[in-house]
Amino acid sequence: MASSTKYIFITGGVTSSLGKGIIAASLGKLLQARGFKVTIQKFDPYLNIDPGTLNPYEHGECYVTDDGAETDLDLGHYERFLNITTSQDNNITTGRIYNNVITRERKGEFLGKTVQVIPHITDEIKSNFYKLGEEGKYDVVITEIGGCVGDIESLPFIEAVRQAKWDLGPNRFLVIHLTLIPYLKAAKELKTKPTQHSVKQLLEAGIQPDILVCRTEYHLPSDVKKKLALFCNVQLNNVIEAMDADSIYDVPLLMKKEKLDERVMTKLKLTSKENTDLENWKDFLGKLKNPTQEVKIGLVGKYVSLPDSYKSIIESFTHAGASIECEVDLRLISSEEINADNIASKLKDLDGILVAPGFGERGFEGKIETVKYARENNIPFLGICLGMQVAVIEYARNVLHLNDANSTEMDSETKNPVIGLMEDQKNIDQMGGTMRLGSYACELKKGSKSFQAYGKSKIQERHRHRYEFNNKYLEVLEENGMIATGKNPETGLVEIVEIKNHPWFVGVQFHPEYKSTVLTPQPLFVKFIQAAVDNKIK
């Protein structure tokens, strides 16, 4: 174990969805701004090997890393805040832990020992805690423990954190506990009892939190902070207030004001190499909060009732919009509710339309109608993954008059499979981790809209799909005005399609939203928003 890396563990209590990921990312950003090399990892207590097979309604979007890992959406926050790339090692689930241990047991690696939660499962968890730190690349590894203290499935993780304290020693180990201070309107009081109970559960598991981060809708008066410090065994200045913020991007500055980074550095005996450099961050926030123009963009998909299903896309609009000082009024529209009769009324006041990724045929015909509307009415259009495939199918049906054109995902018997399975996907019977995943190269046609966006001819973008453009239809589509402007240089697979004689019509097979960050907004989103602005002025 590299002797210098420091480890911070973030646990949560009282309720889930308090924002452990945002606090982890904000703390990471503050430490990074002081010159430290930081990475963040997420340990999820569910039994799925990864979130790849989870319904977006269950868990929000599935985020994909460069190395092709299907991970928790919190890794998206880590990358967007810290401008770093994460990997498979940054997201571990209970399923992965047990799978690793059981595989080793089947191989006989435990020499006939009885395999138990302690020490075998907890040892496996700890080895994953330390894995990134042992590479010697990082000064600080922040580990977010998913779920809530007291959840039965979190117990092995909490026990592993307790053991880690003794492995690491006092100056390399820190626990931050994120908790809720509810306000009871009837009593007009902030209540500390849920937090006391939550910390008590941590103490029963053998862990004393070093810092309390208290989520609250109202400022915490000093007497509430004193009470929390007294009952939770925490120093008074380590009780940190985390007020609700207008934007998640305000949180690093709020945490700096509360001196979270200083408290952490004191406890871990970290000496800062430089003053906190957050000028770029402040510039971004300034532009975000003071836009000079506005556009209305429709995001058409089938998971719109849970916006977290499209988290990276929504954040990409935030980054790209701020970069050109444009407020994006994003309207989430269910593709299931769109048909030929009502489409004009549903989409009439939009300046741009994005058709979102997804799987399966629910809401598919609504997406076809949406693309047709954007194409025929010259509305700037961006199609992502399935959105690009829908654009190809719509064009084949309505311009080439191949009325039964389809994807074999939607109709396995279609006579005109303009979208189909790659050969290496045809015999797959397992769903998890078997798609085209991770970062692949793409070569762009000079002069194309996508080339103008990126400003270079070779790009790398991340994928998450099973079906591909069928090259048998490439020639006839190009003859009729739909051009393949981006291709994979090795396989010749079409990655980007564009339409001539349209203000801005781009469909991409990859997921550009996964690589958008605060400091490097995704070029396609920037150009798409700009096209929507320009088209609106016309």
Give the residue numbers of the binding site for L-glutamine. 57, 358, 386-389, 409, 466
Q: How far is CA 378 from CA 93, 145, 155, 392, 500, in A?
A: 45, 47, 56, 16, 11
Question: What's the CA gap between 22 and 43, in Å, rounded?
Answer: 15
Specify binding-site residues for Mg(2+). 74, 144
Which residues are registered as beta bridge partners of 145?
43
Which residues are registered as beta bridge partners of 334?
301
DSSP string, 288-302: HHS-SEEEEEEEEES
**Are 381 and 391 spatial neighbours (Cβ–Cβ below 8 Å)?**
yes
The position carrying tokens 């995902």 is 409
Specify binding-site residues for ATP. 17-22, 74, 245
Q: Is 365 helix (H, G, I), strand (E, B) or coil?
A: helix
DSSP string, 212-251: EEEEESS---HHHHHHHHHHHT--GGGEEEEE--SSGGGH
458: nearest Cα among 445, 439, 471 = 445
376 among known catalytic residues:
no
511 among known catalytic residues:
yes
- Which member of 214, 326, 385, 442 is catalytic? 385
Structure tokens at 260: 């979270």
Residues 211, 214, 218, 219: what is their CA dihedral angle, to the nearest 10 degrees?
Answer: 0
Specify binding-site residues for CTP. 16, 151-153, 191-196, 227
Question: What's the CA gap between 144 and 13, in Å, rounded?
Answer: 13
Specify binding-site residues for UTP. 16, 191-196, 227
Q: Which burial class, exposed, middle or buried, applies to 44 when counting CB atoms under 10 A from its CB (0-12, 13-18, 19+)?
A: buried
Q: Is 319 helix (H, G, I), strand (E, B) or coil?
A: helix
Question: What's the CA gap between 507 and 483, in Å, rounded?
Answer: 10
Q: Is 483 helix (H, G, I), strand (E, B) or coil?
A: strand
Which residues are registered as beta bridge partners of 40?
142
Encoded amino acid at 223, one letter: D
443 among known catalytic residues:
no
Active site residue ranges:
385, 511, 513
